[in-house]
A and B are shown apart, each in its own frame.
Chain A
Amino acid sequence: MDIDPLAPLLQALNLTPDNVILRAHVVREFLKSRRYKDVKALADPLLSTEYRPLALLATARWELEVGKRGDASRHYHEAISADSSLIDEGLEAELETDNTLKITSTGEIHGRVEMPETPSSVPRVTFDDIGGMETLKEQIRLNILYPMQKPEIYEAYGKKIGGGILLYGPPGCGKTHLARATAGELGASFFSLALNEILNMYIGNSEKNLAELFATARGRAPSVLFIDEVDAMGAKRGALNNSAMRSVVTQFLTEMDGIQSNNEKLLVLGATNEPWNVDSALRRPGRFDRVLFVPPPDLKARIEILKLLTRNRNVDPSIPWDKLAAQTELFSGADIKQLVEQATERAVVDALKSGDLRPVRLADFQLALKERKPSTTEWLRRSRNYVNFANQDGYYDDLSQFLDKAKIR
């Protein structure tokens, strides 16, 4: 017999319907379990509380589920404007894909709509929403933002504006978030191409679709075209058995080169967890000729993430976030999120047993820490091989420095 794992929570909520902390927790659990149809009724009472952003997110999810895409977009943006820790990349992908381009499973583009004067796809996230990571942000400013914001200086020195930059690093460290913040800083239109869409291209009328995507992005310049999991697009062509795949890659290379079109003010940002799988043809000048390593968040970033993720939770205010963050060396953003969830879970279980709504304490985090290891370690250890043996062109120099500093072999 299947038992609803959320039933005890619902039962507790029925007993104490005015308990907003518990209600917020239940809403989060419903969102996590993708039970969007039921979430709105639960979230509505939170609209007039400090948990309004969470309620708006839940409402957006429900609205998308029932086909009210416009309302969903509006409520989602309102939610993340108030609380950027609520950014839901999956939801954004669903909203944006349908607002701009949708590549179907047969590889055709559907649902192309005229973009409004100020495109709704200009992200509202900026660097201010990303704590720490100052070195990386500075690198992005130098490599991406200034060339597009002050083109005359770069042109005076004969430097090309636009082009491609590849962000690589362990999973869950915010490459997508960073790309979005970059577009937000630029005030540029943001087009994203997710893995599924890349894969669908191989199935259908692919080269034409890709050309159209680039043309649209150029038409909306300045714009950022973000390609997630770019290794799936430009996987080493030797490894591609299928001629359709090879032709898509070739078309992609042509678009990147901008032979037939002008790529000025079109910035192509690629992200990958597997930079070693990216075709070397994609790394040539004019394509992804600049690479940026996105490391696990530094101490300052981890403190910010912890504060952000616990902002609207019943948490002991005396928790020393700096000390706690110091114990999460090499944790990815996703790991920290899991840590917070796990710590909260303990407080909720206690609350269910005792009826006392005690805050999440340092001890809960310490216990959760004992059970969690950074998920980035395996990636970093694996990457050591590439630094040692495949870094002849200095491609992984920044990764190498990081590994040496973190003493990872």
Chain B
Amino acid sequence: MTPSLQRANHLIDSGRFDLAITELMSHLAEDPNDSHALSLLAFCHLKMKRYHNATEAAEAAIVADPSQAHGFYIMSQIMRERNQPVPAMEAIQTALTLEPADPDFLVVLAYLHLDAHRWEEALAAAELAVERSPHHSGAVNVLATCLIKLRRIGEASGALENALAQDPENSQTLANMGWLELDRNRYGDALDFFQRALVQDPESEWAREGLLHALRARYPLYGVVLRYMLWMSKHSHKLQQQITLATYLGARLLRELLARYPGLAVILGPLLVVWRLFCYLTWTIRAATTLLLRFTKHGRTIVNNEEILESNLVGGAWLAALVIWLYHVYVDPFTYLGKIGPAVFLSLPMIWSGPFDCAPGWPRNVSTAITVVLTIAALVGVVFLQIDLSVAAKCLRFYGVSLGLALLIQQYLVAVKPEK
């Protein structure tokens, strides 16, 4: 092993991937076909999120020595990060053909199945990984994740507690314990686990996200929505879409029934109101609770810029709705602005949540474009309510008719992960 390679190994251990790349390049200048060094180079580029360079280095590692499983293993991780599940699966399966007993490879395989919501296959891979290496924290964590998805909460808890007994400071295990407690509606315990996870790894987005959920869940309405979101996340994408469609059609049916049989209004009326309120909350509660969190010392520090922007937008729209409504009630009860304006401003946050939910890249761009067009139509419509009613009617009709379709498209876009 050349001194450069030794230095690179140490730098990788220390997390200095930028400097390790320099040493690896220096080693590769002497031995350009060293497959191990090339796969380390790919790993360093991956850690630096330089996906193109990482892919090139992993390809070179595979070409240099196709009998080495490590190159395929790194390639599968790169492809997973780049949201390309098919080549990722091919690479990890090749790696497993070469070295079937490696628990690291099995962990990646389990995560690829999890990404595709194939819980049973993920569980099989995770169980095999734990069988091969019972104290492998990555294996135990992926096993627990699979068990949570399959609603085998007791077993998941046992696995994570064992992992914590082995390594009480493992950030990933602590964060997973937090998510497990969220699933059990034990928000205080979840908060504690997430905080401990973040002390160990302040850059863990998995733990920060969980911490925000735990903090927001202190507001009862958010707790209801969170339970729904966690329940939905345990289903396949297809089933999630079917559930959404079924509830939408169910609501349409209720409306039809109400129209045909007005006598059922006593039962169906409140049901429809609750359903509409719940739907509205699923779009807006996150931003609303972020707004509330920003008034707390702890909450203020953990929300990021995007969350602040989203909460500002929602807060602004609600404030506008309130001001117009107050004007309508106390100053001039006969304007169209007072009658329609609050409804428009209350509905706008529903489409505003879309771009924040979408992955960066084309899904977010498309979602943003839809949101901007509808927002302009709505705002122009509201302004023209006081100037020219025909223009206002056209704009608001376009907004009203397009809103439902836009929400459906945005929901589809949220599930899309663009290739990097």
Contacts and interface: CB of A to CB of B under 8 A. Distances in A.
Interface of A: 105-106, 195-196, 199-200, 202-203, 229, 231-232, 235, 239-242, 245, 274, 276-277, 382, 385-386, 388-390, 392, 409
Given A232-B10, A388-B202, A389-B202, 14 more contacts: A106-B3, A195-B19, A202-B6, A203-B6, A229-B19, A235-B13, A241-B13, A242-B13, A382-B203, A385-B208, A386-B202, A388-B198, A389-B199, A390-B198
Contacts of B11: 199, 232
14 contacts: A106-B3, A199-B6, A203-B6, A229-B16, A231-B16, A232-B11, A232-B14, A239-B15, A240-B14, A276-B202, A277-B15, A388-B198, A388-B302, A390-B202
B308 to A, nearest CB: 7
Interface in B10-63: 10-11, 13-16, 19, 23
A409 B304 CA distance: 7
Given A231-B14, A382-B203, A389 B7 contact: no
A239 B17 CA distance: 14
B301 interface: yes
B10 A202 contact: yes
A277 B15 CA distance: 8
Contact of B199 (A245, A274, A392): A392
Contacts of B9: 242
Contacts of A390: 198-199, 202
Contacts of A277: 14-16
B97 interface: no
B305 interface: yes
Given A195-B19, A200-B7, A202-B6, A385 B13 contact: no
B247 to A, nearest CB: 37
A389 B199 CA distance: 5
Contacts of B305: 409
A-B CB proximity, top 7 nearest: A235-B14, A389-B198, A385-B202, A389-B202, A199-B7, A105-B3, A388-B301
Tell which of B3, B9, B23, B195 has the most Cβ of chain A within 10 Å. B3
A390 B208 CA distance: 13
A389 B14 contact: no
B308 A239 contact: no
A235 B203 CA distance: 17
Tell which of A106, A235, A239, A389 has the most Cβ of chain B within 10 Å. A389
Nearest to A232: B14
Q: What DSSP secondary structure best describes chain B's contact surface?
A: helix
Nearest to B197: A389
A106 B9 CA distance: 16
B203 A385 contact: yes
Tell which of B202, B301, B308 has the most Cβ of chain A within 10 Å. B202
B202 A200 contact: no
A231 B14 CA distance: 8
Interface of B: 3, 6-7, 9-11, 13-16, 19, 23, 195, 198-199, 202-203, 208, 301-305, 308
Contacts of B16: 229, 231-232, 274, 277
B3 A203 contact: yes
Given A388-B202, A390-B199, A274 B15 contact: yes
Contacts of B13: 235, 239-242, 245
Contacts of A199: 6-7, 10-11, 23
A216 B110 CA distance: 55
A371 B210 CA distance: 38
Nearest to A106: B3
A239 B171 CA distance: 14
Nearest to A273: B16
A277 to B, nearest CB: 6
A390 B195 CA distance: 10
B15 A235 contact: yes
Contacts of A409: 303-305, 308
A240 B9 CA distance: 10
A278 B308 CA distance: 32
A382 B199 CA distance: 14
A194 to B, nearest CB: 12
Contacts of B198: 385, 388-390
A105 B23 CA distance: 13
B205 to A, nearest CB: 9
A199 B23 CA distance: 11
Given A232-B14, A235-B13, A203 B202 contact: no
B178 to A, nearest CB: 13
Contact of B10 (A245, A274, A385, A389): A245
A392 B198 CA distance: 12
A38 to B, nearest CB: 24
A245 to B, nearest CB: 6
A382 B201 CA distance: 12
A200 B3 contact: yes
A178 B305 CA distance: 33
A98 B19 CA distance: 23
Contacts of B14: 231-232, 235, 239-240, 277
Tell which of B199, B208, B301 has the most Cβ of chain A within 10 Å. B301
B396 to A, nearest CB: 36
Contacts of A274: 15-16
Tell which of A195, A200, A385, A386 has the most Cβ of chain B within 10 Å. A385
Given A199-B10, A203-B6, A389 B195 contact: yes
B304 to A, nearest CB: 6
A409 B305 CA distance: 7
B246 to A, nearest CB: 40
A241 B303 CA distance: 36
A140 B6 CA distance: 36
Contacts of A245: 10, 13
Contacts of A240: 10, 13-14
Contact of A242 (B3, B10, B199, B304): B10
B7 to A, nearest CB: 4
Nearest to B7: A199
Contacts of B208: 385
B199 A203 contact: no
A105 B199 CA distance: 37
Contacts of B301: 388
Contacts of B6: 199, 202-203
A292 B301 CA distance: 23
Contacts of A241: 13
